[in-house]
Amino acid sequence: MNKAIIVTGGAGFIGSNFVNEWLAQSDVQVINLDCLTYAGNMENLSALKEDPRHVFVKGGIGDSALVSRLLNQYQPYAVINFAAESHVDRSIHAPEDFIQTNIVGTFRLLEAARIYWNGLSSEDKANFRFLHVSTDEVYGSLKKDDPAFAETNRYEPNSPYSASKAASDHLVRAYHHTYGLPVLTTNCSNNYGPYHFPEKLIPLIIANALADKGLPVYGDGQQIRDWLYVADHCSGIRCVLEAGRIGETYNIGGWNEMANIDIVHTVCALLDEARPRQDGKSYREQIVFVTDRPGHDRRYAIDASKIEKELGWRPAETFATGIRKTVQWYLANPEWVANVQSGAYRDWVETNYAGRNQ
């Protein structure tokens, strides 16, 4: 079997966690293709700087010539597609990039993979996998008492982000059914953990709390998400890559539904304990309720029983252990946060929060 994989988007939050963990456990070379948007950060990969098992290539998944060259040169036995525009609020302000990367980019990646796969020997063809990393948001929004999302739920995406991910999932499915490409798709719930860009709820709350800024909670803060520690998402992906049935989709989740306001309270309590405010008050004092996100999905919940029963995967962390590790990581890495809070990031904060009433 060939001894390389291509990972796309491996300088982002989940992709960089995946690459770091992969190379901590395996000597299979990783070709990391990432065009380094605002969300891509080489610092996330600094531990691999001198490591010949990690080959970083700056480029886009939509660059068919580049992708074909990499496939032919490195002869990978898998492509794992993390590359995406991933922030719902940005997709509301500027959807175009989401269409280009998540839909057109995934299509071009699939097409290059199909041509490469067609040219492989029958043994390598049988071993090849295209694993597409997707989200639970494609299923839409649940009511309070609805059962959690199963793989059989219909797709009802509500934001430009989730609609673009849904479209990419459909293309992946079609490449299996039409051309026989050996694909796998994972649909995961909200991740949290190290290297999470501080535009998303948990790292934003930690960064703002420590900077003595407001902690913005959209609407009534009662929206529910199912949170999974990023290392558990990565172990789920490895599990599906190794043993998932070709053409199948697998939901990955932490059985951990929580309202946003409870997440914010938990983070405040951990910070109160680890880094108390100088005035002795709780970080909760900094919470501000702001205008809600348009079309805000009320509840996501993942039924992860398929991956558990078929592949024996289970999350290693509970929310209590994972969020503690996460807060500790941010406290230990203030320079990482300072470095990503670049000029471009400050412009985004202005765009997203300036128009919201408190």
Q: What does 216 interact with, of ligand TYD, ligand NAD, none (CB < 5 to 8 A by kind)?
A: ligand TYD
137 is a catalytic site residue: yes
Q: What does 11 interact with, of ligand NAD, ligand TYD, none (CB < 5 to 8 A by kind)?
A: ligand NAD
d(CA 88, CA 159): 7
Q: What does 162 interact with, of ligand NAD, ligand TYD, none (CB < 5 to 8 A by kind)?
A: none
By beta-carbon proximity to ligand NAD, the closer residue of 40 and 140 is: 40
Length of the chain as a residue count: 358
Dihedral sign, CA of 66, 94, 165, 317? positive
By beta-carbon proximity to ligand NAD, the closer residue of 237 and 286 is: 237
161 is a catalytic site residue: yes
d(CA 16, CA 31): 12
Q: How far is the CB of 146 from ligand TYD (least distance, A)?
A: 17
85 is a catalytic site residue: no
Q: Is 191 in the site for ligand NAD (CB under 6 A)?
A: yes
By beta-carbon proximity to ligand TYD, the closer residue of 179 and 218 is: 218
Per-residue interface string for the shown chain with ligand NAD, residues 41-70, x marking contact by CB under 6 A: -------------------xxx--------
Which long-range contacts (C-beta less than 8 Å, at least 24 apart) are formed by 335-343? 336/43, 336/195, 337/198, 337/203, 337/207, 339/41, 339/43, 340/41, 340/43, 340/197, 340/198, 341/198, 341/207, 342/38
Stretch of residues binding ligand NAD (CB under 6 A), selected from 9-17, 144-152, 204-212, 261-269: 9-17
Q: Is 84 in the site for ligand NAD (CB under 6 A)?
A: yes
By beta-carbon proximity to ligand TYD, the closer residue of 132 and 225 is: 225
Q: Give the pair of three-digit tokens for residue 232.
A: 């558990």
Among 6, 8, 172, 244, binds ligand NAD (CB under 6 A): 8
State the catalytic residue, choosing from 63, 85, 89, 137: 137
Residue among 255, 260, 306, 228 nearest 148 (CA): 255
By beta-carbon proximity to ligand NAD, the closer residue of 56 and 283 is: 56
- The residue ranges that bind ligand NAD (CB under 6 A) are 8-9, 11-15, 33-37, 39-40, 60-62, 82-84, 86, 101, 105, 133, 135, 165, 188, 190-191, 197
Residues with a catalytic annotation lie at 136-137, 161
